[in-house]
């Protein structure tokens, strides 16, 4: 069967997938042709990963059929998918850190006595063929995240995969690493192979895709064919993804801030792990009232430790933290909350909420000893519940009332509740650590609006994000963190994306 000149290798017909009451895929039909990049675009929960996990054998369709090379197949496991030439690179890599690159790639695919020297040569040749700068004999734990992703890709190439599914592949990469990945994508499909790209980033979709399939609420809401990609507008894609246009948030302008006072001052802060490894190394910066300082960097370079050091969850090895002229380095977390610091942790499931508690109870967390909701040790439930109802209205939280447990809400709605609580607590300073990670466009837009609103009230904001577009959209100044060191602090607009990307990868900028 031909389809616009290219052979169809995979066809999904009328796939439905139910999880209990949720219909994750609703009558989804699509084709993948050889030698093309198909982008699956949509918000979180739109069903993108689900449909690909069905093709990869991790999930089983409730209804529907899969055809590979016009033959109907049952894919019951990833092993069967691999036998059909399908590989999937997930957001969380499945590598064994204590093994070498070569050992990881041949794991489970070699029997009997193994000549490792020979295998290493073979893997190195494969890496070189695709211009991957990955040493075949190196332990995986010594590699950067970008190099680890290449090892995952090499695993697929070693097994002769004809179709590689990539789930949000650029989320963990610097801009330069993302460019290398796009180069690989082009090389690989030029050889007649195919790639499916699961993403919610418009820019990359438009750069590399031959076809874009947009999913919304488990259904296909539109397809952009090969000839239309060069002319499609981002606003059209947004409309297909969320059903309406997004409000435009204006980038900040910091006029007349020089006379504002510094609210937060961090001086020569260093932090070490239990086994004495430096996590933060002589970090110094300040944030003025009504200013947003954005911290850019690939995750795992000390951002979370920095937030915890300011908030009081980690003891400083050296240096001090000053809020409104008063040193708070020795204060306990509770005392820092009382001073007016809010902290939105990057992992809301572990540090931001308790799934089995109601919305009201989650709002009460961290405030149970403050005067707002407690009098003489008794919780003022009526006031707390009214307040929570107001939050549901004001933040457009999709929840029936304050009594539902927060774990029953979608990720974006959980985040809105946690943001509301922290914004309330942070009367002077709010620390946002990856506030939109894992959220869809609508919720991201809402969180961004909230951050800008709090800035306009004169609060100081420390924003950590691995999304450069978010840093550029919100920050007044941008700091780049690499392996616990600040590589530089710049006004927004002073550096290009490429320059920031180099700093994120640990390169010093040459004096121009």
Contact by Cβ (8 Å): 76, 53 = no
Give which of 115, 92, 93, 88 is closest to 104, Cα–Cα. Answer: 93
Residue range of the domain that includes 443: 263-504
Distance CA 14, CA 180 (A): 36
* Sheet of 341-344, strands arranged across: 341-344, 429-433, 460-464, 292-296, 477-482, 485-491
Q: What is the pLDDT of residues 238-265, one digit of tens each?
A: 888 877 666 666 655 555 556 789 999 9
Distance CA 306, CA 495 (A): 23
Between the alpha carbon of residue 236 and those of residues 86, 232, 356, 444, the distances in Å are 31, 7, 39, 18
Task: Give the count of domains, the chain.
Answer: 1
Residue 346: inside a domain, yes or no? yes
Contact by Cβ (8 Å): 93, 148 = yes
Residue 7: inside a domain, yes or no? no
Question: Which structure tokens are listed for 330?
Answer: 């020795």
CA angle 154–160–161, rounded 5-degree value? 85
What is the reported pLDDT for 2? 42
Task: Find the mean pLDDT for residues 427-446.
Answer: 88
CA angle 266–501–345, rounded 5-degree value? 45
Identify the CATH number of the domain in which residue 492 sits: 3.40.50.300
Residue 164: inside a domain, yes or no? no
What is the reported pLDDT for 246? 65
Residue 172: inside a domain, yes or no? no
Sequence length of the chain is 512
E-state strands within 345-388: 374-375, 378-379
Residue 177: inside a domain, yes or no? no
pTM for the complete prediction? Answer: 0.74
Residue 239: inside a domain, yes or no? no
Residue 180: inside a domain, yes or no? no
How far the first Cα of the chain sits from its last, in Å, is 56
What is the reported pLDDT for 1? 42
The pair phi, psi for residue 365, each rounded to 5°, is: -55, 140
The single residue listed with the structure tokens 């040493």 is 135
Q: What is the pLDDT of residues 33-91, one digit of tens each?
A: 999 999 998 877 788 889 999 999 999 999 999 999 999 999 999 999 999 999 999 87
Q: Coil, strand or helix: which one is 179?
A: helix
Between the alpha carbon of residue 285 and those of residues 264, 479, 484, 486, 490, the distances in Å are 8, 9, 13, 9, 11
Task: Find the mean pLDDT for residues 187-216.
Answer: 89
Question: Which structure tokens are listed for 265?
Answer: 């001052």
Q: 345 or 92: whose pLDDT is higher?
A: 345
Residue 343: inside a domain, yes or no? yes
Q: Which residues contact 76 (CB under 8 A, 6 or more apart)?
A: 57, 60
Between the alpha carbon of residue 306 and those of residues 352, 463, 483, the distances in Å are 17, 11, 12
The single residue listed with the structure tokens 């616009």 is 4
- Say if residue 333 is exposed, middle or buried (CB neighbours under 10 Å; 0-12, 13-18, 19+): middle
């Amino acid at each position: 069967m031909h389809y616009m000149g290219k052979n169809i290798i995979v066809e999904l017909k009328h796939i439905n997938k139910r999880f209990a009451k949720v219909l994750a895929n609703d009558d989804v039909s699509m084709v993948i042709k050889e030698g093309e990049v198909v982008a699956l675009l949509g918000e979180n929960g739109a069903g993108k990963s689900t449909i690909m996990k069905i093709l990869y054998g991790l999930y089983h369709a409730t209804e529907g059929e899969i055809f590979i090379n016009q033959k109907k197949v049952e894919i019951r496991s990833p092993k069967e998918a691999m036998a059909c030439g399908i590989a999937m690179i997930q957001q969380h890599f499945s590598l064994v850190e204590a093994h070498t690159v070569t050992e990881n790639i041949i794991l489970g695919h070699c029997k009997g006595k193994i000549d490792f020297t020979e295998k290493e040569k073979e893997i190195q040749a494969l890496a070189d063929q695709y211009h991957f700068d990955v040493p075949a004999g190196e332990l995986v734990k010594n590699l950067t995240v970008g190099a680890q992703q290449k090892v995952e890709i090499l695993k697929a190439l070693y097994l002769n995969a004809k179709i590689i599914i990539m789930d949000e592949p650029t989320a963990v990469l610097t801009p330069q690493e993302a460019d290398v990945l796009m180069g690989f994508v082009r090389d690989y499909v030029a050889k007649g192979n195919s790639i499916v790209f699961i993403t919610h980033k418009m820019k990359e979709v438009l750069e590399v895709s031959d076809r874009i399939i947009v999913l919304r609420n488990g259904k296909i809401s539109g397809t952009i064919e090969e000839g239309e990609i060069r002319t499609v507008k981002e606003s059209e894609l947004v409309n297909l993804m969320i059903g309406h246009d997004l409000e435009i948030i204006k980038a900040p302008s910091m006029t007349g801030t020089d006379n504002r006072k510094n609210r937060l001052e961090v001086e020569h802060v260093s932090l070490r792990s239990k086994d004495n490894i430096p996590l933060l190394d002589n970090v110094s910066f300040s944030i003025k009232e009504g200013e947003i300082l954005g911290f850019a960097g690939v995750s795992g370079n000390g951002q979370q430790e920095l937030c915890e050091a300011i908030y009081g969850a980690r003891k400083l090895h050296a240096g001090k933290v000053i809020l409104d002229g008063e040193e708070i380095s020795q204060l306990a977390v509770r005392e820092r909350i009382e001073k007016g610091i809010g902290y939105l942790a990057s992992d809301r499931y572990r540090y931001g909420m308790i799934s089995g508690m109601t919305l009201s109870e989650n709002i009460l967390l961290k405030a149970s000893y403050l005067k707002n909701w407690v009098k003489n040790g008794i919780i003022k439930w009526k006031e707390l519940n009214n307040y929570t109802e107001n939050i549901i209205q004001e933040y457009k939280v999709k929840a029936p009332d304050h009594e539902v447990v927060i774990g029953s809400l979608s990720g974006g709605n959980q985040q809105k509740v946690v943001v509301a609580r922290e914004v309330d607590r942070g009367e002077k300073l709010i620390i946002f650590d990856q506030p939109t990670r894992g959220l869809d466009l609508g919720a991201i837009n809402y969180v961004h609006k909230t951050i800008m609103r709090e800035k306009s009230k004169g609060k100081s904001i420390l924003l950590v994000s691995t999304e450069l577009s978010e840093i550029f959209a919100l920050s007044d100044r941008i700091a780049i963190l690499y392996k616990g060191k600040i590589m530089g602090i710049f006004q927004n607009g002073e550096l290009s994306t490429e320059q920031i990307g180099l700093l994120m990868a640990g390169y010093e900028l040459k004096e121009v």
